[in-house]
Amino acid sequence: MSVTGDSIRAGAAALILMACLAAPAAAEAPETAPEVEKANAAPAATAREAAPAVPAAETPAPAAATPTPAAAAPTSAAAPQDAAAPAVDPAIAAAISAALDALVAAEVKPSPIGAGDWRAARIAIRAFYAARSFAPVWLDGRAVNLHGQAALVRLQRADEDALDLSGFALPKDLAADATPEQLAAAETELSAAVVAYAMQASGARIIPSHVSSLIGAKPAVADPGAALAAAAAAADPDAALADYNPPQASYRALRDQLSRLRAAAPDEPPPAAAATTAQIPSGPSLGLGMHDLRVPLLRVRLGVATADAATAEVYDLPIAAAVQAFQRANGLPPNGALTPATAAALSGGVAAPALPPKAAASVSPARRAALIVANMEMWRWEPRDMGVERVEINIPEYTLRLMDGDALVHQARVIVGKPDTPTPIFSNELKYVLVNPIWRVPESIVRKEFAPRLAEDPDYLIRRGYQVAEVGGHMMVSQPPGEGNALGHILFMFPNAYAVYLHDTPMRGLFGTARRAYSHGCVRLDQPMRLAELAMGAGWGARLQAMVGTTERTVMLPHRIPIHLEYFTEFVDPSGALQEREDVYGLAGRVADTIARLRQD
């Protein structure tokens, strides 16, 4: 969640009382799902494949509950400093006060915390120092003290976590005859960098919903005053600051891969393809701003240059114009997009074979690094505490995992939303399952898919077993339980604003395909009864199978299980190898481009 200027100013008075006491929590706890939700609430405007009602529930035998604790803020590894205000050199205090006034008043562009409120953060920094009579934290006399040196160690290594403190002039060796103003400037700059580090590391740079309205994840951005107080009170400011980065092992693995990639020697430039014979592999349609491995081939085929290697894979305006000209010359719809028909025409009438799923080796090192950084940033949006027992669904990987800590309990294939009906990204809790679910068809599907067929065949739905009713002038369509039901035999419920769920499917053959983006937004699951048995407890697999029939039944889980719908195109597998998956919704590319713009501004 974002930290607003009003919330920071409202807390300034409380901050004055606590700044020199024990280190407070250094970041906001993320929002938790409400304890009670009505699963039969009306679906949202973005309703997807199911919004079933909740009939009387059948409850499994009681099991030991393992509730998920609220996400914890990073904690300092140290005992607090003396609460008494330190003795203050009046000249130094006056200089620090003036330096902070200048810091607050300055027009800073670009903001060192991206989308975060840097002015509000600077006001919080000043409030922290006012509470200690403007005594320095990081300096003793005319030198950076051990506390400051420990903070500098972490700040100087910010780039290891893909953070950017290049806008700060971090103090190095202070002159023996440094003036109070020079000392105050060093003190103030170090504190500002500490706050910027904590806020960047906890996800302040990008507002996820600005990347896509279907990203519901909200990072727990550090409160600037509390972060500064925590670092000042920590025995080890280096470790205290490092803790603002995501705690998950998957994040650390990506950070290590980034370090290895940066340390490796630059790759040789790829050999140029023949200008008139380059084959364009099959793949999804491309439009402006999208990234794809086929774009460099298009540039060669159409003779379109690029300004630098970092943008070679971007489907930009020059390449779109060249494609549009080719389409006009060859009798194709001149929309400027690389459609399958256009790719086939560019390849001599027959589209080249699709790129293999693991085509990561053709990505330039610069672009690979940018995508790793983007995925590290998206880890900052996840809850700090994701739960010990939890379900994780990685959309670009088309995979579900049931985890127990870092141990994999169960893994299964999934089918996710098409690019034009994407699966949203958020966290919630599995609460119950429906056996023999009724599919209450969302109005959007009725309007877009059923209405054209009904215009040609008024009995289309009735002949296929759907039930149709008119309620308040609206046509309501449902599909009763059965072998052909779109939700299959079981539906896992985690009521949410997007009206998307996890469910079985009668179209099991689709699990054998590599690119499994076919749904309207819900997640279709292979081996659903196995997941249900693991979630419900031993013996429930057979009991659930025995329930399969034509009557919808509700079974409550013995305890709620956190579920996380994630989007990671870059990840490290159990063998330690970096894996890359297609950016099926283009989100990783957008995040990478946003971070690049922040660095260039």
Alpha-carbon span 23 to 236, nearest angstrom: 12
Position 177 confidence tier, pLDDT thresholds 50, 70, 90: confident
Q: Does pLDDT of 78 surpass 70?
A: no
Q: Does pLDDT of 1 surpass 60?
A: no
Residue 469, C-beta contacts closer than 8 angstroms, at least 6 positions apart: 475, 476
Which range is least confidently modeled, 108-122, 350-364, 495-509?
Answer: 350-364
More confident residue, 48 or 42: 48
CA-closest candidate to residue 354, choices 122, 514, 123: 514
* pLDDT confidence of residue 364: 82
For residue 450, give the DSSP letter: I
Q: Does pLDDT of 29 surpass 60?
A: no
The reported pTM is 0.74
Angle, CA of 434, 438 and 443, to the nearest 5° = 125
Residue 308, C-beta contacts closer than 8 angstroms, at least 6 positions apart: none
For residue 352, give the DSSP letter: B
Q: Does pLDDT of 463 surpass 60?
A: yes
Structure tokens, 257: 């891969």
Is cis: bond before 437, omega within 30 of 0? Answer: no
Residue 486, C-beta contacts closer than 8 angstroms, at least 6 positions apart: 49, 439, 479, 505, 506
Which range is least confidently modeled, 75-89, 307-321, 566-580?
Answer: 75-89
pLDDT in tens, 549-565: 999 999 999 999 999 99
Position 376 confidence tier, pLDDT thresholds 50, 70, 90: very high
Helix (H) or strand (E) holding 90: helix 90-105
The pLDDT mean for the chain works out to 83
3-class secondary structure, 263: helix
Q: Does pLDDT of 466 surpass 80?
A: yes
Helix (H) or strand (E) holding 591: helix 587-600
More confident residue, 259 or 34: 259
Which range is least confidently modeled, 20-34, 68-82, 191-205?
Answer: 20-34
Structure tokens, 427: 């966290």
* Mean of pLDDT values over 139-149: 92
**Ordered domains of the chain (ranges, CATH):** 5-32+71-245 (no CATH), 57-66+386-438+484-568 (2.40.440.10), 268-363 (1.10.101.10), 441-479 (no CATH)
Alpha-carbon span 438 to 441, nearest angstrom: 9
